[in-house]
Amino acid sequence: MKLYIASTSSFAGKTLLALALGTIWREAGVKVGYVKPLGKIPIMREGRLVDGDATFLADALVLDAPPEAICPVVITQDLVMAAWRGEELHLRGRISAAVLDAEARSEVLLVGGTANLRDGIFLGLSPLEFIVNYDCRVVLLDRFEGEKSMDQVLSAADALGPRFLGVVFNRVLPAQEKFVRETVIPFFGGRGMRVLGAVPSDPVLGSVSVRALADSLSASVVCGGEDGGKEMIERLCVGAMDVEHALRVFRGISRKAVVTGGYRTDIQLAALETDTVCLVLTGGVAPNELILARAREKGVAILTVAEDTMATVDRFESLLGRLRIREPEKIRRGIDLVRAHVDTAGLLSLCRLPS
């Protein structure tokens, strides 16, 4: 029996939920497996192209399977170009083999979905088609954002039909908790839909402090360490693009750290114009006076590291970014949050119900 973990947008918390469900259900004596049909975070590991998310989960859940069995398709430039040219991609066979193999070894197979129910259609890998073909149950994750969430969840539920088991709201702000409890959950109940959990926004889980970042990067703190570096960073951006592009990207991302070359004054200024917590300047180059003055004025921390941007990002990613729950402490905390706020037992029995 397969549980597809879907989400309405990126960074909803699919990896965390998969990790938590896998851990909690195993504790209950269930054999849990994991497969991710399409990986979108290509990284090289021991000379092989693998998916960053899938390998993390494989490690954390101690899945004894080769990477291609856990994530049979990792997106590459070659794959995308072949899709553009209308070539036959032969992906379904690979996916099918991986799913059947994993299913055979588990009682509950968790399937890691893409960012939303559309991602992958271009490559001939429609998430909805997958869910139907493999007869999956679906739990939907949504980063709670008020009525925008409602549109997304209702639309997804409609598309999924009876396979939709329920929704888990993630990163619910303290101010929203009462509203979710008193208004949102009854709203869904009134429509015969389950809210399986509302996980509160967690400062430790969702971010990293400037101090922790500086420590882990062996960076020197040029400014902004005054408050003990307690400011929290939620996202990472690499400033390697041109300024206009950078500004566009930067505007869309709040509470971020921007990693860029020390001489990229333009990118640094663009970052300071937007919601940035910290600048990480690479190449051992100190910020110029203007940047320093503006950063102080805006209360933005500046760290400098001797390494180049690439190396810095590699280290950064182990801490934050797309894969932010990499530290053991955060993994534990994440699992505890799910345990406390999601009806995992209920979800398990729903999964076990015959279709």
Tokens of 178: 């009462």
36 counts as binding another protein under rule CB under 8 A: no
Alpha-helix residue ranges (DSSP H) falling in 61-184: 67-70, 77-84, 92-104, 127-133, 147-160, 174-179
Rule CB under 8 A: say whether 288 interacts with another protein.
yes
Query: Least distance to another protein from the beta carbon of 173, Å?
Result: 26
Minimal distance, residue 283 CB to another protein, in Å = 6
CB under 8 A: which stretch of 140-148, 162-170, 191-199, 306-314 binds another protein? Answer: 306-314
Across the chain, which distance is largest between two alpha carbons, in Å? 67
* Contact flag: residue 122 with another protein (CB under 8 A): no
Helix pair angle (289-298, 265-273), 10° resolution: 10
Listed in sequence order, the residues at least 6 apart from 219 whose beta carbon sits closer than 8 Å to its beta carbon are: 213, 280, 303, 304, 305
Stretch that binds another protein, among 12-20, 70-78, 88-96, 208-216 (CB under 8 A): 70-78
How many residues of this chain bind another protein (CB under 8 A)? 41
| Token reading at 162 | 């009876």
SS3 content of the chain, % helix, strand, coil (to 5): 45, 20, 30
To the nearest whole angstrom, how small is the minimum distance from the Cβ of residue 198 to another protein?
29
What are the backbone dihedrals phi and psi of residue 126, each rounded to the nearest 5 degrees, phi first?
A: -75, 125
CA–CA separation, 271 vs 236, rounded Å? 12
Does the footprint of another protein cover residue 254 (CB under 8 A)? no
Residue 115 engages another protein in binding (rule: CB under 8 A): no
Q: Which is nearer to another protein, 76 or 183 (CB)?
A: 76
Q: Which stretch binds another protein (CB under 8 A): 18-26, 206-214, 220-228, 307-315?
A: 307-315
The binding track of 264-283 with respect to another protein, each residue x by CB under 8 A or -, is xxxx-x------------xx
Q: Classify the C-alpha dihedral 283-289-292-298 as positive or negative.
A: negative
298 binds another protein (CB under 8 A): no
Q: Which residues of this protein are in contact with another protein, per CB under 8 A?
A: 41-44, 47, 49, 52, 75-78, 81-82, 238, 240-245, 249, 260-267, 269, 282-285, 288-290, 308-310, 313
